[in-house]
Structure 1
Amino acid sequence: MAHTTASRLICQLAMVMVLAACVEGFSLASLSAALHASAPRPQTKMGAGSTMCTAPTMAPRRAVAKAAVLPTQGRTRRPNGYWKVYENVEAEILQLCDKLELNGVMPTEAQLRANSLSSLSDAMQKDMGGFAAVAAKLGLKCSKPRGFWKDFDNVVGELKAWMDSAHCTTLPTQAELRSAGRTDLISAMQQHGGMVAFAEHLGMPMAAPKGKRATGYSVRKQLEQHICEFVEEHGLEGVFPSNHLLTNWGRSDLVKGIERHGGAEHMAKKCGLAIRRAPAELVAVAQDLYEVAKQLGHPDVMPSLELLRSQGREDLASAVERHGGMHTAACMVGMKSSHATVTPRKATTAARPLSVAGGGGSGGARLAAAVSNAKRQLQTADRAARGASSRAVRAMYVSSSG
């Protein structure tokens, strides 16, 4: 009987030792609890008879919780000295790069700790010369020093290197850079004016997202610079360009940038430019309209929009369009509309000999009468137009003063 009990205890002890070798966190407390639970209970005699019964015992205590700790999911127990072997460090880093899709970039300390590799970070800093030394051995790009991205040339160099490796013929979009894990480039480019600034600096077209126009100007100073360049290029002379003018010239990116930074009023004040509104705007450009008409040989006729644009006066054409078109603007400034003229000046002078030559016959008389009647009609229309223009201008000033 004693021999059987001893052999049973030996077998149980062997099983417990095997379990202790396999399970992390096994302690003597769990071993004592297991032996106490599996040991045979002593038997005693009760009363005068020979009936055998078990002696009452206390219920066994539960094993302490810390004695049954299992390995956490995602963490692997590594043997002692594992991180001192360079091959192990190399394999772990490359595996993490593939997992995070870093594409040739050394993982940061924050990324290592987030993936339960703080021991790897400590080993590189203590035993292997730091992150930069390990990155150089593996051929990976290490994180940049403080202030690196504040230098515009550094950002351009990093962008060119990435574009060469990716064989890009256009400036990459933010989505492409983000999918490649280069959020550092995205942040740096936004600090230096956005995608538009880099596209202009590199002289490369922008790969705009499908159905959208790529816009930048996350920095207000960059937007101010482009607005001033547009004003100087189109001869606006201190006048803030309108949304209509910017859209006509294909600069919807500036329109969106202006809306992003507080609207036209705010940006005009920041740029030191004035916003002209009707009727003051049309009155201000009336003299320019007269000068252009005089250069074209018709000082009293409103030039057409095509003629204004051909003379490089897009500002005048836009002002005329904003005030109702050629006829309405002509009435406001006291000029004739080009639609009301019957013949150009040269054609009229060429037709005079014909009317004189034919003046002796009945056909010539009818022609002269028709010409005279047409002149009277034109004069009547001109007087009516001038009266309407004076009344319209007077009404505008009265309404504006009120």
Structure 2
Amino acid sequence: MIRRVDLRGRVAAGEVSDLQAEVNALVPRAVFDVEKALDVVRPICLDVRHRGLEAIREYGEKFDHVRVEDIRVPAAALKTALEDLDPEVRSAFEESIRRVREVSQDELTADIASEPAPGGRVTQRFVPVQRVGLYVPGGRAPLASSVVMNVVPAQVAGVPSLAVASPPQKEFGGLPHPTVLAVCALLGIEEVYAMGGAQAIAGFAYGFGAGVTGCKKVNLITGPGNIYVVAAKRFLLGEVGIDSEAGPTEIAVLADDTADPKHVAADLISQAEHDPMAASVLVTPSEALAAAVEAELPGQVAQTKHRDRVTEALQGQQSAVVLVDDLEQGTAVVDAYAAEHLEIQTADAEERAGLITNAGAIFVGSWSPVSLGDYCAGSNHVLPTAGCACHSSGLSVRSFLKAVHVINYSRDALQEVAGHVVTLAHAEDLPAHGAAVSVRFPGEQ
């Protein structure tokens, strides 16, 4: 059901870049050709730029198979969705919101003031992005939890204007999934649009319409989506800011013979449930554990609802049971792989987690499965994929803040450093830069 890759004696800990190349060659990720998808989304985005709301309606009818006249979700629909939400589901979302909000509050950064010279002060202010468009997928599953993960840190950061887009659903009369709407209402989001795909990203980036039915241009777009959403975000980068280019989800599990094979198998399956291109990778020095997990998978897969999707993901080139010489080599391998989600199920899990520098999120021990992070750990589940964890972070309060330097020098403080400024300006052949300082001190230089 899942292939085996034997790295014993083949890959050693060394330069990270060299190891990354080796690991990527031996454990390749699923093909996710964003460049090819750009050819599809480019005309869609440009059409939305020129025709606005009507183009969004037409693409919704073409791709989501439902024509929506009122793209803006009515307030009554949001209210009804929340009223109709199952009380148990509502309670679970409220707890998820509470935990994510608490963690987000702790992420807030105070302004930083420095005084590099007497009378010279530089303050780094953290200010929220003024308007954000949050995208919530609506494909194989209504990811209402993504509403929590996008909205809560933005609210904590102090973003004054938030809009949510989620694809229209034919079975719900052209509205987004009612659970998505209910969570928006629970969080006090009133500006919600029934639009999906590249046309939604373009609608946020360019703005469309006017009045209460229109949507003002946003400054930043966040949230996961399919390859066409990702391609649209890449195409529109610069017109707006984006959080990341999220590809298919992935889990790596570093485990030794203390791990429970039932737990490991369930965790691999949980990520494979997302998408046929999802990656599930077990890295272990224990051949006994590898065999036990391989034996456990078929039975658990047979019992899961989305067994066809899970089977395709587990059998894909992106998934594998990887044998390593020892935990040191295994640690180097998962660090080089830079997984979106990394579980460490070893006897020394907490200490070993401290050795990892490349992962979207690290789940420590047998009682911290990825599913916990997806919903109720308090962490964010919008994370870097495709190895991007080696240079990027997951969504957080910081994603919605800008750092602005405020420079405030007195006359004496400027005069004290003026000579250096003039010297450096002339060294770069920019004499007017120097003159902008020396003109303030006539006859003193």
TM-score band by shorter chain is under 0.3
Using structure 2 for the length normalisation, give the TM-score.
0.19
Using structure 1 for the length normalisation, give the TM-score.
0.20
Structure that is richer in helix per residue: 1
Structure that is richer in strand per residue: 2
Larger radius of gyration: 1
Work out which structure has the larger RCO, using CA pairs closer than 8 Å and 6 or more positions apart in sequence: 2
